[in-house]
């Protein structure tokens, strides 16, 4: 959680970062690290989705919650629920706090797209 902490920086250097989360490191990662990464996916001993069922996200002020990548509304990240909008957004790594600050109403400045949205795409934003 502490992105500036020594342990996070060591793991980031070793395995990389994807979407502001530690990466799996590809085929060069250790068996231990691959197992730790699979916990996020619910793989391992016991209940199938143990991690997901026992951990919850608290949004708070939204400064640590990635708008598109984290599960902060419903059971899936918004990038999976709205893949077309995710593809078209300019800032894929924005945080909930940023979106709120910029305004996420229809006329808000939070919505910055690579091109003008078609009418059917705009329906997904509302």
Q: Residue 102 phi/psi, 5° resolution? A: -80, -20
The confidence score (pLDDT) of residue 41 equals 64
Domain count, the chain: 2
47 and 84 housed in the same domain: no
The confidence score (pLDDT) of residue 106 equals 66
DSSP letter (8 states) at residue 66: B
Residue 62 lies in a domain: no
The confidence score (pLDDT) of residue 87 equals 93
Using 70 as the pLDDT threshold, list the residues of the chain that sit under it: 1-2, 40-57, 106, 126
115 dihedral zone (left: phi>0; alpha: psi -120 to 50; beta): beta
Residue 106 lies in a domain: yes
From the list 30, 38, 35, 27, the residue with the least C-alpha distance to 10 is: 30
The confidence score (pLDDT) of residue 8 equals 84
Residue 69 lies in a domain: no
87 and 119 housed in the same domain: yes
82 and 120 housed in the same domain: yes
The confidence score (pLDDT) of residue 1 equals 57
The confidence score (pLDDT) of residue 46 equals 55
50 and 82 housed in the same domain: no
Share of the chain above pLDDT 70, in %: 83
Which residue segment(s) compose the domain that 34 sits in? Answer: 6-54
Task: Please state the pTM of the whole predicted model.
Answer: 0.57
The confidence score (pLDDT) of residue 52 equals 61
């Amino acid at each position: 959680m502490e992105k500036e902490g020594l342990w996070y920086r060591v793991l980031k250097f070793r395995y990389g970062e994807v979407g502001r989360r530690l990466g799996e490191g590809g085929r060069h990662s250790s068996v231990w690290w691959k197992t730790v990464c699979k916990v996020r996916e619910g793989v391992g001993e016991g209940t199938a989705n143990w991690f997901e069922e026992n951990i919850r996200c608290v949004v708070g002020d939204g400064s640590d919650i990635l708008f598109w990548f984290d599960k902060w509304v419903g059971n899936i990240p918004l990038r999976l629920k709205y893949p077309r909008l995710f593809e078209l957004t300019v800032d894929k790594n924005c945080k909930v706090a940023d979106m709120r600050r910029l305004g996420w109403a229809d006329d808000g400045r939070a919505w910055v797209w690579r091109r003008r949205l078609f009418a059917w795409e705009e329906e997904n934003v509302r």
